[in-house]
Amino acid sequence: MLAVLEFFTIDKPEWTVEEAAARLGVSTATAYRYFKRLTKVGLLSPLAGAHYSLGPAIIQMDRQIQICDPMLRAARPVMIDLIQYAPEGSTMLLSRPFHDCVMCVHQVLGHGPQQPVSYERGRLMPLFRGATSTIILAHLSPRHLKSLFKRHSAEIANAGLGKTWDQFRSTLAGFRRAGGCITRGDIDSGRVGIAAPILDSNGAILGSLSFVLLQAKADEAITGRLFSLTCAGAREIERAMADETVVRPARMKMALRAV
């Protein structure tokens, strides 16, 4: 039944019960029952003419995430602080892994005119391109990486992360050792990404903190300085989370496993 939710995309944000029934391969009556349940908790909302769209509960839960999410809470002040150091037209991102992708969960715009950035709050971005993603990738568990390499070796080779498993492994180990990652024009041409990992107290990856700069304003000296700043910011976020959070032993994480 939850599969219905995945039907609703930006390209097709409205579905009728019948359309969904056909795609699910269930009877209309069953689809009605699904829609009714999802509507009751507010995940769907009826429009005129038997069409449905995503519902108000999502807005409500999004607010809860904004208020409660530990990483977001810890990161917000740091990001507002750090963006001051970046040249005009820069953006600062907080991102986390999701499915086989990376999602931006918070974005702080710098001063000066802004051109659009591909990373945008809530948008899924590729896991193998861009500093923001790569530094997250580099800290995934070996088990997880192995599975990814099996399923995406072409894409990985294409992104220059290695043609063999050993190359891939050692490329990522390099990023881990460096403490961060810098890419140029990987996602948006004319943009430079500078990212550092955010780890929990057990060393598991939670997400990344990153700058996106205009390439024109990103010479060696600047990127170098911002790289250090990004890493320092990530450490600050980790510290803030550790202070706020009840310390808990690391445990298995279903979401990251199966991926």
Partner DNA sequence: CACCGTTTTATCAAATACTGCAAAATATGT
Partner DNA sequence: ACATATTTTGCAGTATTTGATAAAACGGTG
Torsion on CA atoms 30, 35, 41, 45, rounded to nearest 10: -170
| Cα separation, 80 vs 95, whole angstroms | 15
* Alpha-carbon distance values, 47 to 50, 53, 72, 86 (Å): 7, 7, 33, 44
| Cα separation, 173 vs 134, whole angstroms | 11
* Span near a second copy by CB under 8 A; candidates 77-85, 116-124, 150-158, 174-182: 116-124
Positions 46 through 75 that interact with DNA (CB under 7 A): 46, 49-50
Q: By C-beta, is 189 or 251 nearer to DNA?
A: 251
**Which one of 22, 173, 216, 250 is in contact with a second copy (CB under 8 A)?**
250
Name the minimum Å distance from CB 256 to a second copy: 8
Partner interacting with residue 28 (select from a second copy, DNA, none; CB below 5-8 Å by kind): DNA
Q: What is the DSSP string of 157-202?
A: HHTTS-SSHHHHHHHHHHHHHHTSEEEESSSSTTEEEEEEEEE-TT
* Span near DNA by CB under 7 A; candidates 32-40, 129-137, 189-197, 213-221: 32-40
Does 48 help bind a second copy (rule: CB under 8 A)? yes
Name the minimum Å distance from CB 124 to a second copy: 7
Question: Contact 236/82 with Cβ under 8 angstroms?
Answer: no
Does 143 help bind DNA (rule: CB under 7 A)? yes
Q: What are phi and psi of 6, to 5 degrees?
A: -75, -10
Q: Beta partners for 198?
A: 207
88: left (phi over 0), alpha (psi -120 to 50) or beta: beta
Q: Beta partners for 47?
A: none
| Cα separation, 86 vs 211, whole angstroms | 8
Does 105 help bind a second copy (rule: CB under 8 A)? yes
**Which one of 26, 42, 100, 199 is in contact with a second copy (CB under 8 A)?**
42
In 3D, which of 204, 212, 194, 213 has the Cα closest to residue 71? 204
Partner interacting with residue 5 (select from DNA, a second copy, none; CB below 5-8 Å by kind): a second copy
Does 29 help bind DNA (rule: CB under 7 A)? yes
Positions 64 through 93 that interact with a second copy (CB under 8 A): 64-70
Does 2 help bind DNA (rule: CB under 7 A)? no
Partner interacting with residue 143 (select from DNA, a second copy, none; CB below 5-8 Å by kind): DNA
Name the minimum Å distance from CB 216 to a second copy: 29
Interface residues toward DNA, by CB under 7 A:
1, 16-17, 25-30, 32-36, 46, 49-50, 141, 143, 202, 204, 249-254, 257-258
